[in-house]
Amino acid sequence: MSNRDRFRLRSVFGTATCLAAGWCFSAAAVAAPLDSTTDSQEASQTAQLGTDTSLLSGIPGEGKVSLEEVQQWLADPANHTELTVQLPKGLDAASGNIYIPEDNPLTRAKIELGRQLYFDPRLSSDSTISCASCHDPASGYAAPTQFGVGVGGQEGGRNSPVSYNRIITKEQFWDGRAGSLEDQAVGPIANPIEMGNTHEQCVSDLASNKVYVAEFDKIFPDGLTIDNVGKALAAFERTLVTGPAPYDYQVELDNFKKVFAADLEFLDEDPELKEEFDALQAAAAKHPMSESAKRGMKLFSGKANCTACHAGANFADEQYHNLGVGMDAEEPDLGRYEVTEQEKDKGAFKTPTLRNVALSGPYMHDGSQKTLEEVVEWYDKGGHKNPWLSDKMKPLNLTDQEKADLVAFMKEGLTGSFPKLETGRLPE
């Protein structure tokens, strides 16, 4: 093959990234290189989610945020510039799905306000529960309890899902009943068993805090309202994204090998291509997966058929499926059916992301499965039979080794980094 042919092939390679088997995304999303060192001029326009640490590091300073500090911060026009965002490697293949409502553009000031609200227990009726109580960065942005535990130790019937990688989806909650993060965010505040507050009380409590009032007044034309609390929280949540995991490096290397299969033994004749290959190999070696995890990666899209639903850059098809979880209860949670009232949706729940899933057990909408090993057993037996079971659920007949490989893939292959963020610095 001539160099020219190879060059043509290379541009073919450049047009698509294929995740798992058969999931390809267009290049527009993949093209932009990630660079964590942007100068401040640049950073006020484009934010590299997941790598730009200044986005989530809080208002400069120590301890509680004072009025003086916040006024200084709010006076800087750069903190009010609308940001366009780039997703980290891996998740960037879903850049086409980024959803930021037109009436809620991202700015540094708004993201910072949302960060404060997210970690502030003063949003709850007795100042004990914050969003982070159930979506804690230290617990994989979820909670280690079976159900979310709210004010007065009250429990709901559902497990706390992770609150990251929400920027690429519209529908929120296990049953998708909120159409946006803005809608979702104000829900827990008034939920009697979560934060147990009322929207009116929450707004009047915030209104007694000079720091919050200064922020809302500067950031929103209509100042402090419950809708704007939701907007600020949503803006912050959109910046919570997972960084690349070993899978993302391995899949790039595998794709290269596939595309240039016929060329691999002649790489020495094409220094540019060889350089590319060496770089991909080095990156994969730097973020290693065991042989077991690599076998699990093949099973995931092959015999175990997980990509039938856990597909795309976020390992979630954003659809609703009945796996039979909880369907043996006397009065099962009917999930999506409660929203659509369509028979086919009985017992169906939204496919969750599997990025960083090893960190956020227990699992499933009802927190009924404690470990990834248990989850794999559930799929191996084909779920739990019930009239609405997804037709994608079939017994898998996995060997013990294959089950272990799948678990190893989820633990090693899908665990990546989270953005660094300030959790303690709140308004005085």
Interface ranges with ligand HEC (CB under 6 A) = 118, 129, 131, 133-135, 148-150, 156, 158, 160-161, 163, 166, 172-175, 181, 184-185, 188-189, 194-195, 233, 237, 304-306, 308-310, 321, 323, 325, 349, 351-352, 354, 357, 360, 363-365, 372, 375-376, 379, 390, 392-393, 406
Identity of the amino acid at 335: G
Q: How far apart are CA 345 and CA 166, in angstroms?
A: 23
From CA 274, how far away is CA 186, in angstroms rounded?
52
- Is the CB of 29 or the CB of 309 nearer to ligand HEC? 309
The C-alpha atoms of residue 150 and residue 156 are separated, in whole angstroms, by: 8
Least Å distance, CB 408 to ligand HEC, is 11
How far, in Å, CA of 30 to CA of 93, rounded?
6
Phi, psi at 273, each rounded to 5°: -65, -40
Instruction: For the CB of residue 340, give the shortest distance to ligand HEC in the complex, in Å.
Output: 15
Rounded CA separation 54/185 (Å): 24
Of 38 and 319, CB closest to ligand HEC: 319
Judged by CB, which is closer to ligand HEC: 109, or 398?
Answer: 398
In our burial notation (b when 16+ CB lie closer than 10 A, e otherwise), range 406-423 reads: bbbbbbbbbbbebbebee
**Shortest distance, CB of residue 184 to ligand HEC, whole angstroms?**
5
Q: How far is the CB of 132 from ligand HEC (least distance, A)?
A: 8
Minimum CB–partner distance for residue 310 and ligand HEC (Å): 5
- Point out which residues pair with 172 in neighbouring strands: 178
Helix (H) or strand (E) holding 17: strand 16-19
Question: Shortest gap between Cβ of 155 and ligand HEC (angstroms)?
Answer: 8
Rg (CA), the chain: 23
The least CB distance from residue 92 to ligand HEC, in Å, is 20
Positive or negative, the CA dihedral 252, 258, 260, 266 is positive
Distance CA 169, CA 350 (A): 12
Q: Considering beta carbons, is residue 69 or 182 the nearer one to ligand HEC?
A: 182
Select 6 or 336, whichever has its Cβ closest to ligand HEC: 336
Q: How does strand 349-350 pair with strand 16-19?
A: unpaired
Distance in Å, CB of 334 to ligand HEC, minimum: 11
Q: Give the nearer residue to ligand HEC in terms of CB position, either 44 or 116.
A: 116
| Shortest Å distance, C-beta 179 to ligand HEC | 11
Question: How many Å is the maximal CA-CA distance in the chain?
Answer: 73
Nearer to ligand HEC, 44 or 390 (CB): 390
For the chain, helix (H) and strand (E) counts, in that order, are 16, 6
* HSE-CB for 376 with a 13 A CA cutoff: 24
**Shorter beta-carbon distance to ligand HEC: residue 82 or 155:** 155
- Mapped onto helix, strand or coil, the DSSP state of residue 176 is coil
Residue showing tokens 């033994």: 265
> What count of residues does the chain have?
428
Residue with Cβ nearer ligand HEC (177 or 210): 177
SS3 47: strand
Q: How far is the CB of 368 from ligand HEC (least distance, A)?
A: 8
Which three-class secondary structure state does DSSP give residue 413? helix
By beta-carbon proximity to ligand HEC, the closer residue of 50 and 367 is 367
